[in-house]
């Protein structure tokens, strides 16, 4: 499995996307905190967090006895550059050119 | 849509197909950093107690100021951090950046960046939040393909 496979697979699950949203609101959360916002067993949440961590979407730090989870959006940035920029750039620049041309005419 | 609160500890990680030494070189050699670190060259002897500065490639402007707190090549680097490119962040106290480099399989290295001690530097915290993702994805792309992003 390559990096992109791991990231798309990690994102292809609503619970895992929800976990990312929870960390986006406030990160540095423990498993217990994350678990309280979900209708799921502790083991289930742990499994999802492991998938996110393996994809590089979640980074962890130990703080005393707790393991804290942080949103690490680096893979999303890479997907953006690889998949979004590539397909939207030409269309966007064509529209930008059109806008400039039209605005010049009315000026 | 919720807004992200400013995080006083930020942690970013990325898996890079490279050796720990290559990742260390990617962070510490100015010819590499110029290609993914917003075009800036990082300058330091990378020894504990040495100054750590970041500059525009032509040295016309200093962007970052700090000091090396800990250096264990190619495993760990800790520096203080003050961003000078914005008057608001330049007026804030130093925060701290830790680079942790660990082997994570055959020819795969896990790089983790922790930017913390941001409690007294909210402008810096907000400012770097998107920046580290850009920098780390650029470093990964550069080390894996030899090309900086966007080329």
Q: Residue A35's domain is classified under what CATH number?
A: 1.10.10.10
Nearest residue, CB atoms, A59 vs list B11, B140, B141:
B11
Same domain for A88 and A99? yes
Instruction: Provide the whole-model pTM.
Output: 0.83
**Average pLDDT, stretch A36-49?**
93
Q: How far is A33 from A80, CA to CA, in rounded Å?
A: 30
Token duo for residue B143: 């080390």
**Could you state, in order of their start, the residue ranges of all structural domains in chain B?**
11-144
Token duo for residue A90: 């030409």
- CA of B34 vs chain A CAs: smallest distance (Å): 19
Residues in chain B whose beta carbon is closer than 8 A to a beta carbon of chain A?
Answer: 2, 4-5, 7, 9-15, 112, 114, 132-134, 136-137, 140-141, 149-150
Query: To the nearest whole number, what is the mean pLDDT of chain B?
Result: 91
How much is the pLDDT for B2?
41
How much is the pLDDT for A101?
74
ipTM: 0.76
The 3-state secondary structure of B67-133 reads: EEEEEECCCEEEEEEEECCCHHHHCCCCEEEEEEEEECCCCCEEEEEEEECCCCCHHHHHHHHHHHH
Domain with A85 in it: 74-107
Tell me whether A83 touches chain B (CB under 8 Å).
no
Q: What total of structural domains would you count in chain A?
A: 2
Please say whether the beta carbons of A50 and A60 come within 8 A.
Answer: no
Query: To the nearest whole number, what is the mean pLDDT of chain A?
Result: 87
Tens digit of each residue's pLDDT (9 = 90 or more) over B60-99: 999 999 999 999 999 999 999 999 999 999 999 999 999 9
**Average pLDDT, stretch B16-38?**
93
Nearest residue, CB atoms, A56 vs list B5, B14, B132:
B14
Same domain for A61 and A90? no
Same domain for A13 and A37? yes
Same domain for A66 and A84? no
Same domain for A83 and A42? no
What length is written for chain A?
Answer: 107
Would you give the distance in Å from CA B92 to the centre of its chain?
A: 18
Please say whether the beta carbons of B59 and B96 come within 8 A.
Answer: no
Nearest Cα residue to B76 out of B123, B40, B26, B24? B24
Same domain for A20 and A42? yes
Q: Which of A59, A60, A81 to mutate to test the interface with B (most CBs of B within 10 A)?
A: A59
Would you say domain B11-144 falls under CATH 3.30.530.20?
yes
Token duo for residue B92: 């804030």
């Amino acid at each position: 499995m390559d990096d992109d496979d791991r990231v798309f697979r990690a994102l292809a699950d609503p619970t895992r996307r929800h976990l990312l949203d929870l960390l986006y609101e406030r990160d540095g959360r423990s498993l217990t905190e994350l678990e309280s916002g979900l209708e799921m067993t502790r083991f289930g949440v742990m499994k999802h967090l492991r998938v996110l961590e393996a994809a590089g979407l979640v980074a962890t730090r130990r703080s005393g006895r707790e393991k804290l989870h942080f949103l690490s959006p680096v893979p999303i940035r890479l997907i953006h550059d690889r998949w979004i920029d590539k397909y939207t750039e030409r269309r966007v620049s064509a529209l930008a050119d059109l806008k400039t041309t039209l605005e010049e005419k009315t000026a | 849509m919720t807004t992200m609160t400013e995080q006083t500890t930020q942690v970013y990680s990325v898996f890079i197909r490279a050796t720990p030494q290559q990742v260390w070189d990617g962070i510490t050699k100015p010819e590499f950093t110029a290609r993914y670190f917003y075009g800036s060259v990082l300058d330091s002897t990378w020894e504990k107690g040495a100054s750590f500065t970041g500059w525009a490639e032509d040295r016309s402007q200093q962007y970052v100021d700090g000091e090396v707190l800990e250096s264990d090549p190619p495993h760990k680097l800790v520096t203080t951090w003050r961003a000078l490119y914005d008057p608001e962040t330049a007026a804030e106290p130093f925060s701290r950046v830790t680079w942790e480099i660990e082997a994570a399989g055959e020819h795969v290295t896990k790089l983790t960046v922790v930017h913390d001690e941001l409690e007294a530097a909210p402008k810096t915290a907000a400012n770097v939040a998107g920046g580290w993702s850009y920098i780390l994805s650029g470093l990964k792309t550069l080390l894996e393909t030899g090309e900086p992003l966007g080329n």
